[in-house]
Amino acid sequence: MGLLNVEGLVAGYSAADEVLKGVDFAVEPGEVVGVIGPNGAGKSTLLKSIAGLLKPGRGEIRLNGEAIGGRAPRDISRMGVAYVPQEQNIFPTMSVRENLEMGGYVDPGGSERKIGLAFERFPVLAEKRRHAARTLSGGERQMLAMAMGLMVEPKLLLLDEPSAGLSPLAAERLFLSIAAVKKDGIAIAMVEQNANEALSIADRAYILVDGRNHRSGPAAALAADPDIRRIFLGG
């Protein structure tokens, strides 16, 4: 049994709307799983469904064997799943430190210790702890968003396109931070447009096309597959 098991997930934005048309997806404890595929394939919809922001129409979402489909986002967060959306994932006018406090709202008592850990993990956030989040660089904002997610001490971190809009250097730094989070034993499911980079740090990956599973397997095997290179990885 995996940490997360999604089976036959059908979900969309209204009752009749099937954006996901029966998706299977799994994450084992401690692994990094990439999710790639064209725009509109349903990658974000998959993460939103797992995080509890969308009610699944059909299918199962299980965390450590327990059905979580349709539970409130706050409950799912308490059960150890942190979700970092692609956009509006920080509070721009609040300081870096206040953002981290917001990230830890489900367990305010443990905040001080966990903010200390976040500052150890991301020294640049410690340096800028009193700065308004809107003054951070793109890469620093994504680090802050990830640090906010980590405030709930998740077993599973869901990242939606963390490197979107970053320079190659900033993206590389961010991927290093993601690899460091994995080293601490936290599983990560990561949607990425930077498919080559995502496959290079992922253990396994899924390719979604039009709301369905297209291919999945070890990331290295997918990255080496000539058809996948041609269609999804730009040759």
Ligand X SMILES: Nc1ncnc2c1ncn2[C@@H]1O[C@H](COP(=O)(O)OP(=O)(O)O)[C@@H](O)[C@H]1O
Helix axes 138-150, 96-103, angle to 10 degrees: 30
Contact map string, positions 24 to 53, toward Mg ion, x by CB under 5 A: -------------------xx---------
36-44, 112-120, 218-226, 227-235 -> range binding ligand X (CB under 6 A): 36-44
Q: Which single residue brings its beta carbon nearest to Mg ion?
A: 44
- Could you give the count of Cα atoms lying within 13 Å of 169 in the half-sphere of its Cβ? 1
Q: Which of 3, 26, 41, 207 binds ligand X (CB under 6 A)?
A: 41
Helix or strand or coil: residue 139? helix
User: Which of 49, 99 has the CB closer to ligand X?
Assistant: 49
26-34, 43-51, 66-74, 131-139 -> range binding ligand X (CB under 6 A): 43-51
Instruction: Find which of ligand X, Mg ion, none residue 92 binds, CB within 5 to 8 Å per kind.
Output: none
Q: Which of 11, 27, 33, 45 binds ligand X (CB under 6 A)?
A: 45
Q: Does residue number 194 form part of the binding site for Mg ion (CB under 5 A)?
A: no
Residues 6+ away with beta carbon under 8 Å from 212: 21, 22, 23
Kindly state the smallest distance separating residue 181's Cβ from ligand X, in Å: 22
User: Which of 37, 162 has the CB closer to ligand X?
Assistant: 37
Nearest to 188 by CA among 1, 47, 78: 47
Q: What are phi and psi of 90, to 5 degrees?
A: -135, 165
Query: Any idea what the Cα angle at residue 202 is, between residues 197 and 204, rounded to 5°?
Result: 130
